[in-house]
Amino acid sequence: MFQQELREVQTRLAEIAELVESAIQRGTKAFQESDVALAEAVIEDDLRIDTLATSLDELAITILARQQPVAKDLRIIVSALRISASLERMGDIAEHIAQLARYRFPESVIPKGLGKIFREMGELDVQVAANVVTLLRTEDLLIIEDIRNTDDRIDELHAKVFEKVLSDTFKGEVTNVVDATLASRYHERFADHAVSIAKKVQYLATGEYS
Amino acid sequence: MFQQELREVQTRLAEIAELVESAIQRGTKAFQESDVALAEAVIEDDLRIDTLATSLDELAITILARQQPVAKDLRIIVSALRISASLERMGDIAEHIAQLARYRFPESVIPKGLGKIFREMGELDVQVAANVVTLLRTEDLLIIEDIRNTDDRIDELHAKVFEKVLSDTFKGEVTNVVDATLASRYHERFADHAVSIAKKVQYLATGEYS
């Protein structure tokens, strides 16, 4: 019975992670292509992620109350609450990226000269979200290193955005600098949350939190 | 016994909140006055907040395992875990604000024309942190409205920063725009976390989450 409930928690976490993957995939596409209809869909759909996360939290609390788990089982449920919070926040960030595209529409939100960097950052955020889905489904710890490496690369690109806008050759307006700064920060934070989820899964599997 | 443990949790949360209040008070001072020694102290001290938050989480998990609380007591412990996560994040943000001051030293990180706005944002962040301390100590729900109002005002100031840097009269460099954008976002997020803590305390007291 308890094992069945744990599986239910795991399945629901992976389902929320899939919605987050879809949100960041569409959010970064809307951001790159100034697709305002797609941006609005991402913004609207975030409510579903929030609702599912809240409902998962309620399930976890019900399991705590009914099953009174201890030791590792207890830690799994507590970690589920934390992973759910990270996923909810990743959904918010995908929404923020979509909002940037909508604010700036019909102009492109991406300053000239930064298209390539933001395309790579977007692809890596989608990849990191896909990895989180697989990690939650399979608990294959090898994926954790992928997530960490992708996050490192995103951090490099984040630094590169600032290098670019601060260089003498940057031709953008002040609006572009504001947009690039916020967008880069969102892309970078998204991956941080993925790393935080990976650490929790690793801790549960190995007892080591690093 | 259980009531005593709950009080211990509450006391520890308030203690962490006090460290967060000190961090944002010193962080915003370092930011406004380009005080690099103070900035470094804030950055160094963040480890203490992280350690105390982790240790509180361990206490909460031990209480869950030993006391097997249900109903409201269970929700109090789960909420404590979430409040601890928000406080830890507020500490990180205070650290980020201090880091901005250090990066830009010996120059001032605050662009000309934005001193007044950032001074007010800083004061309001300190005020919101002090309110969180009092709320956690007293559970006086009247404070929640103060926290919400302060957050609304900070959101207004956040919008004003963008208005200012985007106006024709803004004389700053690209660096100043980047700094102002990040700093404003940090100040704004800090208060969001305070609102999120306030909502949890309100939910526990009234059963209503709004």
> For chain B, which residues make up each domain, given as ranges?
2-206
Coil/strand/helix, residue A114: coil
Question: Could you tell me if B7 lies within 8 Å of chain A, comparing CB atoms?
Answer: no
User: Is the CB of B64 less than 8 angstroms away from the CB of A71?
Assistant: no
pLDDT band, residue B206 (cuts 50/70/90): confident
The percent of chain A in helix, strand and coil, each rounded to the nearest 5, is 85, 0, 15
CATH topology of domain B2-206: Methane Monooxygenase Hydroxylase; Chain G, domain 1 (1.20.58)
| Residue B201 scores a pLDDT above 70 | yes
With CA atoms as reference, the chain B residue closest to A66 would be B70
Question: Could you tell me if A2 lies within 8 Å of chain B, comparing CB atoms?
Answer: no
pLDDT band, residue B205 (cuts 50/70/90): confident
DSSP state of B111: P
User: Is the CB of B170 less than 8 angstroms away from the CB of A175?
Assistant: no
- State how far Cα B45 lies from the chain centre: 15
Q: What sign results for the dihedral spanned by CA atoms B149, B154, B155, B159?
A: positive
- What the block records as the tokens of A56 is 């998962």
User: Is the CB of A75 less than 8 angstroms away from the CB of B81?
Assistant: no
Query: pLDDT tens, B114-160?
Result: 999 999 999 999 999 999 999 999 999 999 999 999 999 999 999 99
Q: For the stretch B177-191, what's the b/e string if a residue is b when 16 or more beta carbons lie within 10 angstroms of its beta carbon?
A: bbbbbbbbbbbbbbb
Query: pLDDT tens, A133-150?
Result: 999 999 999 999 999 999
pLDDT above 90 covers what percent of chain B?
A: 92
A67 chain-B contacts, CB cut-off 8 A: none
The pLDDT of residue B204: 87
Instruction: Please give the mean pLDDT across all residues of chain B.
Output: 95
Query: pLDDT tens, B154-189?
Result: 999 999 999 999 999 998 999 999 999 999 999 999
- For A72, residues 6+ apart whose C-beta sits below 8 A from its C-beta are A204
The pLDDT of residue A210: 59
B177 chain-A contacts, CB cut-off 8 A: 174, 177-178, 181
Coil/strand/helix, residue B86: helix
Question: Could you tell me if A178 lies within 8 Å of chain B, comparing CB atoms?
Answer: yes
The pLDDT of residue B209: 65
- What the block records as the tokens of A148 is 């960490």
Q: Is the peptide bond before B106 cis (omega within 30 degrees of 0)?
A: yes
